[in-house]
Structure 1
Amino acid sequence: MRINRRLAVLGAAMTVITIVASPAGADAGRLKQRCYDRTREPYTSAVDSHLHFRPFGGKAIPFDELLGYLRKSGVRHASMYGIGQTLPVDSGCTYYLECPGTPVVPSMRNDFVNAANYVEERPKDPELALSMTFMDLNRPETIPEGIALYDKEYPGMFRWAGEVNLVKQALFPNHHKPATSENIKNWAPFMKTLRERRIPITLHSDLGSDAEPTKYLPLMEEVLRLYPHNKIVWAHMGLSKELSTMNPDEHIRIMQRLLRQDPNLTLDLSWRVLEDQYFSKPGVRKKYADFLDRNPTRAIPGTDFVASRNKEYKVYEEELEVTSRINKALNNTAFRDIALGENYFRLLGMKESAPQVCRAH
């Protein structure tokens, strides 16, 4: 398959290759290119920084099977999100949109299942970063105690926080309410812990709706003002299904302003809504690609795939392909930093480095 060609192409005399040790379970003698040849290799992202290993409700794709999806698609690093906002176990629902009126509330349940699976397997390929998704940003006083429990049960294993909801309009029918400015001020204790441990936090914070495109922007601005030294990742660049008609130039101006003001802000490019509602429109892809080319170190890729048992590999493969289409329009620097994972490695403080992109002949 095309996606599986991320491994080195044999027989190309002008391509320099080197033998590397194979991870457990991989084919012996795997070859790895010194540089990444964009003319031969896939444009799909090599990291998935936004992957939900657990669903909102119902059965999940088994852990080993999902790891197989990543290997098959060429993804070698992923953030292991649960979903902190879970449906009641007796609801019979697998997705919140199917059950308006049913409360969706923060829970530790998925994080502990993820941690147990991770400890049992300790996979090296793909390499995973466990994430804390239990945080109730409307009740920040409960978060330090929760982190302490995670420290006790799984010391040093959680390297990410989120995705957690600052404001998510899609969940309003399920009793979700936006965090308030007062809530945000009271985040200080747990944000201090994350800052000291250099743990990124991914916030879902809708910009607004088609009726009011920037209604909730002040909430994210308040977060960035109060916590400028935290590694904050803004999920989906603030876009959503509720905001499908925002002027791309206005959106880009807002993103550029906030990136300039806060050097620790990173944009999350996950969710196919970005491609379907914005990047794919005539003339718009180039605007966003130019924006990312100007800010190559400030974005990370992801699928936002939710591992419900009713999905198969072809669904993950499609989500990865769709969310990676923007990569084709990036210059080599942004492609390496974003698609090949350099920014992701830097956020996590990893020693790993993405391959350089081969120079065109």
Structure 2
Amino acid sequence: MSFLLHRRVLRRRVLRKRVLASGAVLAAAAVTASPAGAGRALADGACFDRATRPSTSVVDGHLHFRPFGGRAIPFDEVTAYLRESGVRYANVFGIGQKLPADSDCTYYLDCPGTPVLPSVKNDIVNGESYVESRPTDPHLTLSMTSLDVANPETVPQQIALYDKEFPGLFRWAGEVNLIKGALLPNHHEPATVGDIANWAPFMRELERRGIPLTVHADLGTDAAPTKYLHLFREVLTRYPRNKIVWAHMGLSKELSAMDPARHIAIVRSLLRRHPRLTLDLSWRVLEDQYFSRPGVRERYAALLDDHPTRAIPGTDFVASRDKDYAVYKEELEVTSRINKALGDEAFRGIALGENYFRLLGLKAEAPKICTRK
């Protein structure tokens, strides 16, 4: 073993010991503070009583275990957050772009002009942490987040790297950036229509393996709300057999004032035309900028009730060390507020995880909703 690798192993052991106490405290709190939590329903086989149990999602399908830069919350501490909050299944996203190692930034928006470029580093660290911990509760799914879809000729090599280093462990792909407007000041290169055509080799491989792909594809900006919609439509049209998950339903901080009726109409049209498309309801921006508007929550709930099998939940929490469990708990609560407005079928599919299980091909099954008297 090389000297550098030896130091790295020792450092990981120290970190692991440091967070075990924290994790034990959090796990104990979960048993005592949340005995009737949503997550328990997945284990006890009973029906789920919406009148007495919480509406927070038991799946976090969009969770970044690594930040853009700076220190990360240790892996075992994040999994302890999940246990305490009642989340039983989660995707382990890295972040597919990294700030430079010599940058003192943690968040790219604080550093306009600083390059934030594709890198496999976060995924490799996640893979190593997963192998070291081998958690069974919560159930974790590793995701390939570093795939550079603006340079698709590099992607097969990246997938081969994951296969070599972590055979069979990476069962999700993304969040990849088709177009992310917030990153444009940091040298983000959006994919073009020509790039999308060249995705074919790796999309065939993802299809063959049944791997879902989470795509960040902004709809547009407040000045031009559908500026980028043609790019996402191109992806859906070219790859109709792939499981594509649309991160945040195309919404963003740069698109805060779109007419919800127009957005819902676009989403309905895409769901109707592309039966393998799944909506990702992650990020509190959806709640803060759209769902919480007077009379709007019910319209989005109606959309989801009409397509109860076509969405998964998530927090979009980014595990930078300046955050803690209180922040994760708040983001889970905020992103789960839409669940209360859902009918039983959509609630079971989204909040209780049935859609996520089906998308991944897991043997898990969400509990039935208790019959109301």
Deviations 1:296-336 (A, max 9, x none): 00000000000001101000000000000000000010000
Aligned to 1:139: 151
Q: Structure 2 CA distance, aligned partners of 1:215 and 1:4?
A: 45
1:315 aligns with 2:327: yes
Aligned to 2:34: 4
1:306 aligns with 2:318: yes
Aligned to 1:42: 54
Alpha-carbon deviation of 1:178? 1.7
Give the secondary structure class of the aligned counterpart of 1:311: coil
Q: Which of these residues, 257, 276, 295, is aligned with residue 245 of structure 1?
A: 257
* 1:336-355 equivalences in 2 (<5 Å): 336-355=348-367
Give the secondary structure class of the aligned counterpart of 1:310: coil
Q: Which has the higher helix share?
A: 2
* 1:59-208 equivalences in 2 (<5 Å): 59-208=71-220
Counterpart amino acid of residue 256 in structure 1: R
Tell which deviates more after alignment, 92-101 or 33-42.
33-42
Counterpart amino acid of residue 216 in structure 2: H
Give the secondary structure class of the aligned counterpart of 1:357: coil
1:287 aligns with 2:299: yes
Q: Structure 1 CA distance, aligned partners of 2:176 and 2:265?
A: 25
TM-score normalised over the length of structure 1: 0.93
1:274 aligns with 2:274: no
The aligned length equals 343
Counterpart amino acid of residue 212 in structure 2: P
Q: Structure 2 CA distance, aligned partners of 1:8 and 1:142?
A: 41
Q: Structure 2 CA distance, aligned partners of 1:146 and 1:275?
A: 35
Deviations 1:28-54 (A, max 9, x none): xxxx25111111111100000000000
* 1:23-42 equivalences in 2 (<5 Å): 32-42=44-54
Counterpart amino acid of residue 335 in structure 1: F
Aligned residues of 2:246 and 2:279 also touching (Cα < 8 A): yes
Counterpart amino acid of residue 156 in structure 1: G
Alpha-carbon deviation of 1:177? 2.6
Give the secondary structure class of the aligned counterpart of 1:131: strand
TM-score normalised over the length of structure 2: 0.90
Aligned to 1:225: 237
Give the secondary structure class of the aligned counterpart of 2:92: strand
Unaligned runs of 5+ in 2: 1-28
- Cα RMSD of the aligned pairs, angstroms, is 1.7
Deviations 1:256-276 (A, max 9, x none): 111111110000000000000
Q: Structure 2 CA distance, aligned partners of 1:201 and 1:164?
A: 8
Q: Structure 2 CA distance, aligned partners of 1:60 and 1:254?
A: 37
Alpha-carbon deviation of 1:5? 4.2
Change (3 A) 1:308 1:8: closer
Q: Structure 2 CA distance, aligned partners of 1:235 and 1:9?
A: 24
Counterpart amino acid of residue 153 in structure 2: E
Alpha-carbon deviation of 1:65? 0.8
Aligned to 1:359: 371
1:327 aligns with 2:327: no
Q: Structure 2 CA distance, aligned partners of 1:6 and 1:183?
A: 49
Alpha-carbon deviation of 1:8? 8.3
Alpha-carbon deviation of 1:4? 2.0
Change (3 A) 1:6 1:189: farther
Give the secondary structure class of the aligned counterpart of 2:336: helix
Q: Structure 1 CA distance, aligned partners of 2:45 and 2:336?
A: 21
Alpha-carbon deviation of 1:7? 4.2
Deviations 1:261-292 (A, max 9, x none): 11100000000000000000000000000110
Change (3 A) 1:9 1:100: closer
